[in-house]
Structures are given as C-alpha cells and as structure tokens.
Structure 1
Amino acid sequence: MKLEMICTGEEVLSGQIVDTNAAWFANVMMEQGIEVQRRITVGDRLEDLIAVFQERSLHADVILVNGGLGPTSDDLSAEAMAKAKGEPLVENLVWRQRLEDWFTRNGREMPLSNLKQALLPESAVMVDNPVGTACGFRVKLNRAWLFFTPGVPFELKEMVKGQFIPFLQQEYGVGAKVAVKKLLTIGHGESALADKLETLELPEGVTLGYRSSMPHIEIKIFARGDKAIGLLPRVTNHVRQVLGTAVVAEDRQSLAEEIHGRLNQSGFSLALAESCTGGLIASDLVAFSGSSSYLHHGLVTYSNESKVKVLGVSPQTLDDHGAVSIATVEEMALGARRLLDSDFALATSGIAGPDGGSEEKPVGTVALALATRGGVYSQMIKLPRRSRDLVRSLSAAVALDMLRRELLGEAVIVDYGSIGRYSK
C-alpha cells in the first residue's frame, strides 16, 4: 500500500507556521508499520489543489489530505475535490444537523458561513469529526482513496486514530500485526547511534528507525508478524546493551515524562534551582498532570544575588569559584532542598551563550548538581558549538537523568559520548 499526505494552506507553505501535523502523522503511521512515501504542501489555490489531487491519485493508494475544511473563502479542499472528480458539491444533511445541534447546545447562533462545512463532493463518504465543526470525508479518485481531515491538530489526531487507522485496517488489512518499542537516548547523534547498531543481526521482520527530537534521539524497534513480535523483547535488550548509558528511557517521549512517571504518587519530593536552564526543567515537568504530587518548587535564581539571598549560596563561594562551578551549584542544590526539606533537588548553572564565555569556562560549560538526603552529586559538562537552546535543553536532560539514575540505584555520573565532562 502506497500512502501519501497532502498538506494545504498558505501559512504552512510560506513557513508562517510549522507543520507539526505532518510530522505527527508520519510518526503515528510508522508505529503502524506504514511508511508515508510522499508529502506535498499546497497553497490555498483552487487550480493547484485540483491538479495535485488528480496527479497524486494516479500513483498512491491512500492520500491523507489535511486542512482546508473550514468555513472561510480560502478553505477550498471540498470544492477542489468535487472539481477534480467533475461532480457537484451536495449538502450533507446529517452534518448540517450536527452543526445546528452543536451551536444550539453551546448557546450560539450559527453563522451562515458554517453551512459551507456541510457541502461535500457528491460521491463522498462522510467521516465523523467528534471534536469539531468540520466533518471529514473520503473520495475515490483514479486508484486512490483521498481521506480529508481538518487542519486543527487535535481534530486531526482524533480522526486519524478513530477513523483513518480503522479504515486502513479494514480496507488493506494493515497495522494488525505490528509492534514497536521506543528507546530514548541522549548524548549521541543519529549517525553515531546508527554506527553502533548497523552491525546487529536483526531477526526477519525486525527493523530499526530513528527520530531526532533534540535533546533526544529516539530509536524505534519495529516487529512485523507474530514471530518477530515474539522476539521483540530480546532484540530490545540487545540494543540496550549495545548502547549502554545512551539509553535513558523506554516508551517515553522525553526524560521529563520518565521522571514524572517515576515520581508521580511515589511519596518522594523534588525541588529545583535553575540558572542557565531558566525554568525549563520545571516547565517540562509541570506539563504533566499530577506533577504537584512531587514538585515542591522551581526557582529560577539567575543572578548571583538571588543565589545568595534565596538559596543561601555563600558570597565567598561565588567570589572564589564563580557562578558556574561545582561549589556553587552544589550549594544551590542544597539550598533548594533545604527550603522545604525535599527528598531531592536539582540545580543548574552554566554559560548558554552565544556570549559570556572565557578561556577557562567557554560557552557550553554547565555545572549540574543533585542533592539527596544522603549527599550531593555534581558534574561539569562541556557542550561546545551548540546553540543556546540546545545547551539549555541538553543540560536539563542530563540533570533529569542524574535524578533518574539515583532513583534506580545506578551510578549518577556517567559518560554520554558526545557530551564532554570536566574532571573535578
């Protein structure tokens, strides 16, 4: 089965917004064992839409069309599809009633422009949208089924999971015998990871995939068929052994999700004192519901004065060692933990750049500390030639991994390959 995607919208084509829908869709399809073979972005021009629908329908089996189903004049997907098939738009009475009921239920008067969302190509099969005012639809043109979804991300995701994937399974028998394991890594580039794994002899039906989402690289281990699925745990363990400390989580999107999973309702508590990461660690954790069960506080102590007055860092320590130092970051972690007697505290202090470095402490130098009830662990890492954002996100990831390792009873300070370390 050849699967393609057509994304519509001038704002996507011109780069005014980043097309996260396409990345999400390709990732979800890959987890079903289906590779998206082509993606095309088209602006809001009727002739261009008609042409691309007609041309790609000669080559693909299924095309997901995302966007252009709204009520405004530049939402042209339904009209373009009707013209591509040479048929009229017809009002779908079921969806018109759904629209009227939705507005009545919400105490609002329905604008006449919304009626446009009930107009579908004559041969279209309506596809339910349980979370929005634009229904989807599917149409057969030439060899392909074109499956239309709204551009609103949460509506797309709802319809892909609830409607599109079941359609593929029913029509093409795909996705029923596929399993995937995801290993999250830090500190190694995609090519370095591939070099380590390319010599592995994988069983038939098992393949590897890579996804870069810095500061992480995700390795996906796909198993297709009953026999391969049965071997998946063994292959996963082998990959873990080969990569060693690079692997920091399994079946998680981020280290923050991993830490949240381990701390939520655990009875443990955590405090944060962030300087160079500027609240990034706290933000990543509070993105998850239930983080209040363990996160005592997150303090952004950016200035030396705040480090002294809020965390109790000694002015002499700052004078003798500087803000970016083992001594300072250890006192920051201890001070943060002491405030509410937290079980753990993480602290960061570094030079994120692009300015501010020195010969002794160049840009990308970061001090990290983890304070526990039993003591303090600390390290200085080197992140040269990275962007400011990447220095901050990598620093946050290493700090969280220090905590993860402590929770697992493992060595807290380890080597990560491309992340350099200063010896104490």
Structure 2
Amino acid sequence: MKLEMICTGEEVLSGQIIDTNAAWVANTMMELGIEMQYRVTVGDRLDDLINVFQERSMHADVIIVNGGLGPTSDDMSALAMAKAKGEELVENVQWREHLQDWFARNNRVMPKSNLKQAWLPASAVMVDNPVGTACGFRVKLNNAWLFFTPGVPHELKHMIREQFIPFIRQEFGVQDISALEKFLTIGYGESSLADTLSSIALPAGIELGYRSSMPHIEIKIFARGEKAIRQLPDITKQVRALLGSAVVAENRPTLAAEIHHRLYQSGFSLSVAESCTGGMITSQLIDFPGSSSYLHHGLVTYSNESKVNVLGVNPQILDDHGAVSVQTVEAMAQGVRAILDSDFALATSGIAGPDGGSDDKPVGTVAIALATKEGVYSQMIKLPRRSRQLVRSLSAAVAYDMLRRELLGEEVIVDYPSIPRCGE
C-alpha cells in the first residue's frame, strides 16, 4: 500500500505554524509498519488543490488530506475535490442534522457559515467526526482513495485512530504484522550511535532507524513479518548491550515521560528549583496527568535574591562562587527539598546565552544538582555553540537523567561524549 499525505493551508505552507499533524500521522503510521512515501503541502488556492489531488491520485493507493474542512471561505478541500472529479457538491443531510444537534447540545447558535461543512462531493463517503464540526469524507479518484481529515489536532487524531486505521485494514488487508522497539539516548551523536550498532547483522525484515529530536536521539528497531518479530527480542538485546549507558529510556518518547513513569504512584516526592531552565523541568512533568502524586513544587528562582530569600542559599556562596556553580546549585537543591522534605530535588543554574558568558564560564555553562535525603550530587556541564533553547532542553535532560539513575541505583554522574563536564 502506497500511503501519501497532502497538507493544506497558507499558514502551514508559509511556516506561520509548525505542521505537527503531519509528523504525528507519519509516526503513527510508522508504528503500524506503514511508511509514508510522499508528502506535499499546498496553500488555500483552488486550482493548486485541484491539481495536486489529480496528480497525486495517479501515484498513491491512499492519500490523507489534512485541513480545509472548516466553515470559512478559505476552506476549500471539499470544493476542490468535487471539481477534481468533475462533480457537484451535495448537501449531506445527516451531517447538517449533526451540526444542528451539536450546536444545540452546546447551547450555541449555529452560524450560517457552518452549513457549508455539510456540503460534500457527490460521490463522497462521509467519515464521522464525533468531536468537532468538520465532516470527514473519503473519495476515490484515479488510483487512490483520498481521505479528508480536519486540521484541528485532536479531531485529526481521533479520526485517524477510529476511522482511518480501521478503513485501511479492511480495504487493504493491513494487519498488525509489525513490531517496534525504541531506545532513547542523550549526549551521543547520531553518527556515533550508528557506528556503534553497525556490527549487528540484521536479519531480513528488521531495520534500524534514527530520529533526532533534540535533546534526544531515538533509535527505532522495526520488525516486519512474523519471522522478523520472533527475532526482534534477540536484536533488541544486542542493541541494548552495545549502547550500554547511552540508553536513558525504552519505549518512551522523552526522558520526562520516563521520569513520570518511575515516580507516578511510587511513593516518592520531587521538588525542583530552576534558574536557567526557567520551569522547563517542572512543566514537562506537569504535561502528564497524575504528576501531582509525586511533584511537590517547582520554583523558578532566577535572580540571586530569590535564591537567597526563597531557597535559603547563603549569600556568601553566591559571592564566593557565583550563581553558576556547583556550590550554588547544591544549596538550591537542598533548599527546595527541605521546604516539604521531598525525597528528591533537582536544581539548575547556568548561562543559556546568547550573551552573559565570561572566560571562566562561557555561554553554555550549566550547573546541575540532585539532592536526596542522603546527600547531594552535582556537576557542571559545557554546552558551547548551542542555541538558548537547546542549552535549556539539554540541561533539563541531564537533570532528569541524574534522577533516573538515582532511582535505578546506578551511578548518578556519567560521561556523555557530546556533553563535556567542566574541568574535562
């Protein structure tokens, strides 16, 4: 099955918004063992939409079309599809009644413009959208089924999971005859990871893939077919052995997800004091429901005054060593842990840039500490020539990894080839 995607919208084409929908769809399909073979983005121009529908339908078996199903004049996916097929738009009475009921249930007056969403190409098969007003539909053109989905992310995801995946399974016999294992790493380059794993003899049906999503590099092991799936545990074992301490999580999208998994309902508690990371550590954990079971508080103590008055850092430490020092972050971690007697506490302080560095502490210098009830671990890392955002995200990842290693009873401070420590 040849799967393609057409993404619509001037805001996507011009880069005003990042197309997270396309990335999510591609990753979701990949985890089913289906690779996206082609993707194109087109603006809200009728002729361009018609042309791309006609041209790509000659090459693909299935095309996911995302966006352009709204009630405004620049939402033209249905009209363009009708013209591409040379047919009229026809009102779908079922969807018009759904719209009227949806607005009534939500105690809202339905604008007349929303009725536009009930007009579909004459040959269209309606695809339900129980979480929004945009009616999905599918149409056969040339060699391909074009499957039209809403641009609102949560509506798209619902439709892909509940409507699209069952459709392709039925239409093309797509079965779950694939499996996927994922390893998350930090502090290693993609090429060095590939070199490390190059000695593995991969059997037929098993492939390695690499995805850079800083601060992480994700390694994926795909197995397609029953024989390959049976061999997957052995290949996974080999990959794990070769990577060693480079692996910071398995089958988790981020280190924050790994930390949440290990702390959730564990009985342990965590507090965080952040300077250069500015709440990033805390925010990533709060993204997960249930984080209140372990997260006591997260404090952004950006100024020296807040470090002293909120966390109780001794002013002499700041005078003697500066805000970016292991002595300061140790005091920060101990101070924030003591507020509610948390089991663990993380603290960061650094120079994220692009300005503010010195010869002794250039931009990218970050101090990180982990405090426990038994003691404190700390280190100072160097992240030169990184953007402000990357300095912050890498620092958060290293902090998470220190906590992860402590939870597992492993050595807390380890070497990352691409993240040297100060003094190295």
* TM superposition score normalised by structure 2: 0.98
Tell me the CA shift for residue 153 of structure 1.
Answer: 0.7
- The equivalent of 1:154 in structure 2 is 154
Contact 1:245 1:416 in 2 (8 A): no
Q: State the alpha-carbon separation in 2 of the partners of residues 70 and 401 from structure 1.
A: 44
- The equivalent of 1:405 in structure 2 is 405
Question: Across the two proteins, how many residue pairs are aligned to each other?
Answer: 424
Q: State the alpha-carbon separation in 2 of the partners of residues 321 and 284 from structure 1.
A: 30
- The equivalent of 1:32 in structure 2 is 32
- The equivalent of 2:213 in structure 1 is 213
Tell me the CA shift for residue 233 of structure 1.
Answer: 2.3
Tell me the CA shift for residue 231 of structure 1.
Answer: 2.2
SS at match of 1:370: strand
- The equivalent of 1:225 in structure 2 is 225
Q: State the alpha-carbon separation in 1 of the partners of residues 107 and 317 from structure 2.
A: 63
Tell me the CA shift for residue 61 of structure 1.
Answer: 1.0
SS at match of 1:422: coil
Larger displacement relative to structure 2 (170-179 or 264-273): 170-179
- The equivalent of 2:134 in structure 1 is 134
Q: Does 1:415 align with 2:418?
A: no
- The equivalent of 1:359 in structure 2 is 359
Q: State the alpha-carbon separation in 2 of the partners of residues 131 and 289 from structure 1.
A: 21
Tell me the CA shift for residue 213 of structure 1.
Answer: 1.6
- The equivalent of 1:182 in structure 2 is 182
Q: State the alpha-carbon separation in 1 of the partners of residues 147 and 4 from structure 2.
A: 10
Q: State the alpha-carbon separation in 2 of the partners of residues 235 and 46 from structure 1.
A: 49
Q: State the alpha-carbon separation in 2 of the partners of residues 130 and 206 from structure 1.
A: 38
- The equivalent of 2:256 in structure 1 is 256
For 1:228-284, what per-residue CA distance to the aligned partner results, in whole angstroms no more than 9, with x for missing partners?
A: 212222222221221122211111111111111111111111111111111110111
Tell me the CA shift for residue 147 of structure 1.
Answer: 0.6
Q: State the alpha-carbon separation in 2 of the partners of residues 360 and 34 from structure 1.
A: 51
Larger displacement relative to structure 2 (8-17 or 399-408): 8-17
SS at match of 1:420: coil
Q: State the alpha-carbon separation in 1 of the partners of residues 385 and 58 from structure 2.
A: 47
- The equivalent of 1:115 in structure 2 is 115
1:21-420 to structure 2, matched below 5 A, reads 21-420=21-420
Tell me the CA shift for residue 423 of structure 1.
Answer: 4.1
For 1:392-423, what per-residue CA distance to the aligned partner results, in whole angstroms no more than 9, with x for missing partners?
A: 00000000110000000011011121111124
Aligned residue identity for 2:214: M
SS at match of 1:305: helix
Tell me the CA shift for residue 175 of structure 1.
Answer: 4.1
Tell me the CA shift for residue 211 of structure 1.
Answer: 1.8
Tell me the CA shift for residue 295 of structure 1.
Answer: 1.0
For 1:166-209, what per-residue CA distance to the aligned partner results, in whole angstroms no more than 9, with x for missing partners?
A: 11111112242011111111111222222222332112211111
Tell me the CA shift for residue 313 of structure 1.
Answer: 1.4
Q: State the alpha-carbon separation in 2 of the partners of residues 332 and 86 from structure 1.
A: 68
Aligned residue identity for 1:132: G
Tell me the CA shift for residue 165 of structure 1.
Answer: 1.1
What stretches of structure 1 move > 4 A for 4+ residues in a row?
none
For 1:93-116, what per-residue CA distance to the aligned partner results, in whole angstroms no more than 9, with x for missing partners?
A: 111111111112112222221111
For 1:56-101, what per-residue CA distance to the aligned partner results, in whole angstroms no more than 9, with x for missing partners?
A: 1111111110011111111111111011111111111111111111
Tell me the CA shift for residue 151 of structure 1.
Answer: 0.7
Q: Percent identity among equivalent residues? A: 77
Larger displacement relative to structure 2 (194-203 or 137-146): 194-203
SS at match of 2:421: strand
Contact 1:64 1:149 in 2 (8 A): yes
Tell me the CA shift for residue 212 of structure 1.
Answer: 1.9
Contact 1:325 1:367 in 2 (8 A): yes
In structure 1, stretches of 5+ residues that fail to align are none
Q: Cα RMSD over matched residues? A: 1.2
Q: State the alpha-carbon separation in 1 of the partners of residues 191 and 4 from structure 2.
A: 27
Aligned residue identity for 1:334: Q
SS at match of 1:75: coil
Q: State the alpha-carbon separation in 1 of the partners of residues 176 and 311 from structure 2.
A: 55
SS at match of 1:374: coil
Q: State the alpha-carbon separation in 1 of the partners of residues 71 and 422 from structure 2.
A: 59
